[in-house]
Structure 1
Amino acid sequence: MGKIVQKIIASLLLFTSLLGMSQVYPVQMTPVFHVPYSSRLSDYANSMDVRMRLLVNTTDIGINNRQVRLKMYVQGNGIQAQSSEVVVGMNPIYINGGELLTLTNLELAPLFRLENLEGMSPSQYANALPEGLYTVCFELYDFLTNQKISQKSCAQLYLMLNDPPLLNTPSRNESIAVSDFPNILFTWTPRQINATNVSYQFELKEILDPTIDPQIGFLTSPLLYEEELRSTALLYDVSKPNLLPGKRYAWRVRAMSTSGLSLNNVFKNEGYSEIYHFTYASHCPAPTFILSEAVSARSVRVSWLGDKSHTKYHVQYRKSNVAGAEWFEVYTMNTQTTLSDLEAGVNYEFRVGGSCEPAVLGNTATFTYSGINQFSMPATGTATTSFTCGLNPTIAIANQTPITNLIVSETFTAGDFPVKILELTGNNPYNGKGYIIVPYLADTKIAVAFNNITVNTNYQLIKGVVETTYNPEAPNISDVEDLSGGNNGQIVTQTVPFVITTITTNPNGDIIVGGANGEQITIPGGSNTVITGGNGQIYNVDSQGNATGPFVPAPGVLLLRKILMESLQMDKHLSLLLKGLVCVLNLSVAQNMLGIPLLLPPLVILKRNMLKWVVTICPTRLL
């Protein structure tokens, strides 16, 4: 009998405990916090915008106008805080059965105030909470009986502070050339992850004391210019306060996330970036005529035209169109450098800066930089060395009116390079081909191609990219030295894919080559030009525009001519010494081989000197 009583008592105790665990409270609550979550509790106490809601659902219809009180808990990442039993400043809360009550942070603000929180120090409350996972819970009590009438209802928040913007250009300690019409492009990279409705506050100040650290000088100097904007770039032009030559300026950007009228504290350092400074230099020009030459799938050679006042150069490069890509840098005293350890098949952007300051130990040089240029690395396995670069439009061009009557033989400017138009289709945007002249490569002409570009009425590229490529195996526009030995003129060789029927010149001196089916190609005039048609016939046009021909190559000579011309071309552009000797038997063979009249002795030999092609007597009849 005693055992039966013990079992009954144990069963009753178990049943009672289960009832306690599954107790149904008359009130159900659901807290909802709006993103982005603020990292400061004070934002929920002082904000005029709704940042959170507490839904109170009274399921017991017998409750009528009952006064209740709330208790709040904040836990996580070393924080153990809760609201006090008596909340100062809290308005009375009444609930009714079957009614859904919604309370926002505007009504619950006293719960989030420091004087009503236990377990949190003033320093913890004043600063942003450490990053991590937090739990915010609420309980509801009867105001008169202090009886708990709801279970603990919680919301989990993962608090994370975003990094402030990363400043790009002008870079730290950069030198910017003085201009009557300044166009300085300030750019930065956003780094927020969970921030919404972000705007940027740009600040520019003049550093009045030239001896003070720019970081300190910025904080103590008056504001020169300020602007709030949504984009990540600002063009500083003549409409803004003038910059004085020789003065130092510093700038920074603040990222701000707002919800209505309130500022969200979701950024480190209050959203402020680093402080960059630059010198508005008096007369230190930037490097010009910048080209890149891919020498392998993982390296590229960058060359440029410097100024006689330059003492040092700084090349910066990074992957293009990659958010947060890291800038790499190379310093050099020469007007070219090789960038290595690049990734095959990847696009890069780069710029080159020149410094006019003498090298002094302990001093950090300032640089005047070119605009941003681009190059594309060839895929792995590509064996052909080629010049490649994108000639981009100058960002600071004010004239955005497109020209609608661009024609062949005209010239427009892409970056620093004048582009001579040889072929043209379309009408704004334009497609076509042409060439540029590189002054520091002995005025070498390099072929270019462009697709969907826009040119303004000042003949400046304002949209699109002009791609420059050189392939020694393709019929590019090439200059070779005059083989006659009588002058230092140049010979331009050009191959057209159709049968030539007419060769004329226009008023500009350019050569117009026509075909039987209406084909037409324009070749720049002013030089001795050799033109080969699609059927192998050869024409010569002298520097005055007089055409002769066609010359029909003798049997077996076409291959020899091809070998010689390609050797000349490769030697010209790639600095390769021609191995072996090429002899010609007589004048007619020489003329047919090169396609131009030559004043040479009957037996001659062509060989390569270190600087030019020389003509000597062939010692024996090798052919």
Structure 2
Amino acid sequence: MHLSIGKRILFTLLLLPLWAAAQINHPVMVNVQLNPPYSLYLSDYAAPDVQRMQVHILLKDLTESNYKCRLRVTIEGIGITIQNRTGFYVTPFLINGGEMVTLSGADLAPYFDPRNLVVQGLDNSFTKNGAKLPEGIYRFTVEVIDYNRNTVISNAGSAMVASFLSYPPIINLPMANAKVDAMDPQNVLFQWMPRHTASVNAAFNVVYKFRLVELVPQDRDPNDAMRSLRPIYENIVQQTSLVYGPGEPALTPGNNYAVQVQAIEADGKDMFINDGFSEVVKFTYGEKCSVPQQIVAAFAGRNELKISWVATVSQQGFTVRYREAGNQPSQWYEETSYTPQVTISGLKPGRQYEYQVKAQCMWGYGDYSAIQSFSMPNETLSEGDFVCGKNAGDQKITNTNNIEQLSIQDTIFAADFKVILTTVSGSNGRFSGTGQVMVPLLGFLDLPVTFSNIRVNTDKRMYAGVIELAQSSHAEVKQNLDNAINNLFSKLDTMLASGDPKQLFLIDAAEMMSEIDKMKGWDDLDQATKDQLGELQEKLKELQTYQAQYPDMSPQEQQSVGQKLGSDLKKLAADAKTAFEMAKQKLKDLLNIYKLALDVLVKDRAQLDSSGYHQKKVAFEQYLKAVNPVAQVKTTSSDSTVVLLQQVEELPAESLDLSTVAAIKDYLDALYQKNESTLIRILHDNKDESTDKEVIKQLKVDGKPATDVIASDAVKTDKDGTVKKVSVSILSLIAEILEKY
């Protein structure tokens, strides 16, 4: 190929710089080393704790020493050039002939400071984002410059990096729009797959921010809900899964939720696309308990309404709410039931009532049914209806028309207490049998009762006779437990008396462990004794192993292991027996103190003027007549707070002055004291030790459970003081119950 003279000259001029550069023999050699993971943040290349960038410098002139130098760093990408400013101040570094110098970390920090850089191809966001490069491929070039003359004295050492953002995680469980089973206790597994582990970002410390929101309303866009709603649960975890258990906020069966996971670099650096946010996944937690069907209401007797419905297998309990209907309906009242029916009492004749029913399944409540209504027959109210805490002697029942028959599961009323019959005999108004009394002031606690030859009218109200608390079989259960444990200890003592290991084969370890399992299921056994019996069970397991391996043991092993096992069994049995006896004594002391405290309270209440309540009631009724003479005050209606407030609502507005408020307060105080006395009397007359224990569980003495405070030592050292404390505790519990009721 022949080139013209002009073209030769041009070609030579183009090649000359390259040839000249290749021929320059620089006194300093530079080599640049970049170590993964490659970061988009310039500050990471000068971080003191890691060496992501190392600059190796060699001065070839052996005669030079303490030669002052500085660097010039250039970073080049597609359309981007970043270079050190000319002449910015930096401390020089010294090199000696023949010695290799390596700069990294803090040595390079001034050269990556944004204030010392000239940036081309990027806007101001570069410095605002902490000197962060866009993702891409970059070449880092380093040159050594004479510190005094500001001339280049080295080759241009360079290295290439490719740094890209990682994708955020993908949520695997639950799947989008899936239904998650509602469990009891709550247990939902959330799991996601990280997508940065195959990139250089895997070397960074990454955590995950978990967010869960409830979709309100149910059809709300999950992405909008995640952006705008406060999460019901938020947590940062290092693992790629999270178990949402009973300790976390409860999820509502049938409701929709959305979940999102964000991958975060621990130091807050932007390493992920979309700031590390995964897609939002919507799911449904279980399903709502179904609404009861075929709801029917029927008149069940004077002032009573029976509501029944058809239940499903999964429905375990029910709540019925009702209210008086009208232009201004009253507040809702609730009744609970564990059977598909409920009888509501205390309703007003001639009034219309609205009611709804909802069911409770294992995973929670469902919705209420549609509102239905029922009109009560127009009858004349008589004294004794819907009374809160009234004693049998505080009211006069005028209806003495005897009811012909009563059956098991029928409900009769003694004062304001519902009595569900468990056995019944008799006819024509005279009946005997047993039942369960529902005490509203005790949170509808069931107490066993007996009755003989009581008189019941057609309103299913007892108007003569006595219903007494029954002595339950608790003493028999307690005696059976006592005998079983003592028999267990006696059996072990007899078999281990000789100390001969061969006697161990007389013990049926499996049977004894089974007996202990049954004992540990009894509520009368305290935790300390259960723990001791548990240790005895473990030793019996060792005995089973010994019996199985005995033929393969040497005579010495048979003797030594057997003797130790026998000794351990005797000691554990003795310890368990001691713990059992101490528990019985502590329980006995506790029950005695509780009964003494009730004796004190009963005596205190006996000193009160029993006629004070009736006087204040009559005074209040007379006051109502005086301030509202045109109204017919229902003096025979009831002592309930509900009826009281209804009467007050009928008063003219101008009569609601301080005198009215004082009269109401005076009457309410008297009603409260009467209810309090009624409850103390019920607790005092109770003969069922298991019921006493249930009440004691709720007592707080000096802010602590009574079972922890009242120990045998405390009873012996300050019996009167302990009784006084328990009395205060009982009154506090009663006040709490009356507040709720």
Does TM-score exceed 0.5, indicating one fold?
A: no
Higher relative helix content = 2
Which structure has the greater CA radius of gyration?
Answer: 2
